[in-house]
Amino acid sequence: MTERRIFLSLGAVIFITAFLFIACPSGIPKGNGYVYIRCVLPGNLTEGNTRKTQSRLIGPESGWNIASYRLTFTSENGEVITKSIGKTGAELSLKAGNWSLLAEGLTADGAIIVKKETQVLAQAGKRVNIQIMMHLAQGKGSLQLALSPNQPLPQDWKYSLSLEYRGLPGDPTFQGPAPLSTDVPATQMDYQVNELESGNYSLAIQVKDTSSTSIAGCITTVLILPEQTSRGSCSISLPDPSATISLSTPKLELSADAAISVERYLNRNKPISVPFVIAQGEADLDVQWYQNGTIIEETQAEADQSLPGYKTFFSPDKQPDTQMRISMEVLLSEGNSGISQAFSHSSSLLTGPSSSEIEWIQSIDYKAALNPSLHNSIYPENAGTGNLHEAKSVATSPTGLIAVAGLDQASALHLFYSPYGEEATLDGNNRQIPSSIGWIRLWRDRIFIQKSEKNPDIASISMDGSMIAIAATAGKWIRVYRLESSGSISRKIDIISGENGAPTFENIRAMRFTTDSTRLFILANSSGKLLVLDIEKLFRGEPCCEQEFSITGWLNRTSEGSQQNPSETEHSSLGMQDMILLDDGWIAACSSTIKMVIFIRYSSSDCSFSEPIIFTSGSNSASLGDPKSIAFDEGNERCYVIGAARKLHLFEKSDPLSAYSLSMTYSLSSDLNEANSLALVKKNSGGAYLVAGGNHGLGIISLDADGHPITQGSLNSQEDNLYGIKSINNVTVLGESVISAGGSSGIVAMFDILGL
Q: Greater confidence, 348 or 185? A: 185
* 8 Å CB contact between 636 and 653: no
Question: Is residue 18 one of the residues assigned to a domain?
Answer: no
- Distance from C-alpha of 87 to C-alpha of 65, rounded to nearest angstrom: 10
Give, in order, the Cα–Cα distances in Å from 222 to each of 147, 204, 421. 15, 10, 46
What confidence tens digit (pLDDT) does each residue in 49-88 have?
443 333 467 888 765 678 889 999 999 888 999 998 887 7
Does the pLDDT of residue 225 top 60, yes or no? Answer: yes
Neighbours of 44 (CB within 10 A): 18
- Distance from C-alpha of 645 to C-alpha of 337, rounded to nearest angstrom: 60
pLDDT of residue 316: 35
Over residues 716-744, mean pLDDT: 82
What confidence tens digit (pLDDT) does each residue in 415-470 have?
888 777 776 544 455 656 667 666 777 788 888 898 888 989 999 999 999 999 99
* Element spanning 113, H or E: strand 112-122
* 8 Å CB contact between 199 and 224: yes
Does the pLDDT of residue 223 top 50, yes or no? Answer: yes
What confidence tens digit (pLDDT) does each residue in 617-634 have?
766 667 788 899 999 999
pLDDT of residue 103: 93
Q: Is residue 321 classed exposed, middle or buried when 0-12, 13-18 and 19+ CB atoms within 10 A define those classes?
A: exposed
Q: Greater confidence, 227 or 478? A: 478
- Distance from C-alpha of 412 to C-alpha of 383, rounded to nearest angstrom: 10
Highest mean pLDDT out of 319-323, 337-341, 731-735: 731-735
pLDDT mean across residues, the chain: 74
- Distance from C-alpha of 562 to C-alpha of 629, rounded to nearest angstrom: 31
Question: Is residue 413 one of the residues assigned to a domain?
Answer: yes
- Distance from C-alpha of 364 to C-alpha of 408, rounded to nearest angstrom: 13
Q: Greater confidence, 333 or 143? A: 143
Over residues 359-374, mean pLDDT: 56
- Among residues 118, 136, 154, which one ends one of the domains? 136
Question: Is residue 636 one of the residues assigned to a domain?
Answer: yes
Q: Output the domain CATH number for residue 66.
A: 2.60.40.1120
Using DSSP's 3-state secondary structure scheme, residue 93 falls into: strand
pLDDT of residue 41: 84
| Per-position b or e across 232-250, b if 16+ CB within 10 A of its CB | bbbebbbbbbbbbbbbbbb
Percent of the chain exceeding pLDDT 70 equals 67
Q: Greater confidence, 273 or 714? A: 714
Q: Output the domain CATH number for residue 423.
A: 2.130.10.10
| Structural domain for 66, as ranges | 32-136
* 8 Å CB contact between 208 and 157: yes
pLDDT of residue 467: 97
- Distance from C-alpha of 729 to C-alpha of 404, rounded to nearest angstrom: 12
- Distance from C-alpha of 89 to C-alpha of 529, rounded to nearest angstrom: 70
Does the pLDDT of residue 563 top 70, yes or no? Answer: no
Q: Greater confidence, 11 or 399? A: 399
Q: Greater confidence, 538 or 310? A: 538
Q: Is residue 11 classed exposed, middle or buried when 0-12, 13-18 and 19+ CB atoms within 10 A define those classes?
A: exposed
Give, in order, the Cα–Cα distances in Å from 119 to each of 75, 96, 173, 326, 376. 10, 13, 20, 64, 45
Predicted TM-score (pTM) of the model is: 0.58
Neighbours of 518 (CB within 10 A): 16
Strands 214-224 and 199-208: antiparallel
- Distance from C-alpha of 194 to C-alpha of 224, rounded to nearest angstrom: 10
619 secondary structure, DSSP code = G
Closest Cα to residue 478, out of 505, 451, 515?
A: 505
Tell me the sheet residues that pair with 679. 691
Percent of the chain exceeding pLDDT 90 equals 30
The strand order across the sheet containing 401-408 reads 388-396, 401-408, 413-417, 440-445
Number of compact structural domains in the chain: 2
Does the pLDDT of residue 317 top 60, yes or no? Answer: no
- Distance from C-alpha of 745 to C-alpha of 227, rounded to nearest angstrom: 54
Q: What does the radius of gyration of the chain's CA atoms come to, in whole angstroms?
A: 37
* 8 Å CB contact between 502 and 532: no
- Distance from C-alpha of 743 to C-alpha of 727, rounded to nearest angstrom: 5
What phi and psi values does residue 184 have, to the nearest 5 degrees? -130, 150
Question: Is residue 701 one of the residues assigned to a domain?
Answer: yes
- Distance from C-alpha of 153 to C-alpha of 156, rounded to nearest angstrom: 8
DSSP per residue over 196-264, as a string? EESEEEEEEEEEE-TT--EEEEEEEEEEE-TT-EEEEEEEEPPPSSEE---B--S-GGG-SSEE---EE
State CA 153 to chain mean position distance.
33
pLDDT of residue 706: 93
* 8 Å CB contact between 618 and 647: yes
Question: Is residue 383 one of the residues assigned to a domain?
Answer: yes
What phi and psi values does residue 445 have, to the nearest 5 degrees? -130, 120
- Distance from C-alpha of 746 to C-alpha of 388, rounded to nearest angstrom: 7
DSSP per residue over 531-586, as a string? EEEEHHHHHTTS--EEEEEEHHHHHHHHHTTSSS-GGGG-GGGT-EEEEEE-STTE
What confidence tens digit (pLDDT) does each residue in 72-129 have?
999 988 899 999 888 778 888 888 899 999 999 888 888 888 999 999 998 888 888 8
pLDDT of residue 277: 33
φ/ψ region of 379 (left if φ > 0, alpha if ψ in -120 to 50, else beta) reads: beta
pLDDT of residue 307: 29
Using DSSP's 3-state secondary structure scheme, residue 151 falls into: coil
* 8 Å CB contact between 644 and 628: yes
Q: Can you give the length of the chain in residues?
A: 756
Compute the Cα dihedral for 445, 449, 450, 451 and give only its sign: negative
Question: Is residue 394 one of the residues assigned to a domain?
Answer: yes
- Among residues 84, 116, 136, which one ends one of the domains? 136
> HEC states along 359-389?
EEEEEECHHHHHCCCCCCCCCHHHCCCCCEE
pLDDT of residue 306: 30
* Element spanning 355, H or E: none
Does the pLDDT of residue 233 top 80, yes or no? Answer: yes
Strands 330-333 and 340-343: antiparallel
* 8 Å CB contact between 103 and 69: yes
Question: Is residue 278 one of the residues assigned to a domain?
Answer: no
Using DSSP's 3-state secondary structure scheme, residue 465 falls into: coil
**3-state helix vs strand vs coil in the chain, percent to 5:** 10, 50, 40
Question: Is residue 270 one of the residues assigned to a domain?
Answer: no
- Among residues 92, 116, 136, which one ends one of the domains? 136
What phi and psi values does residue 584 have, to the nearest 5 degrees? 55, 40
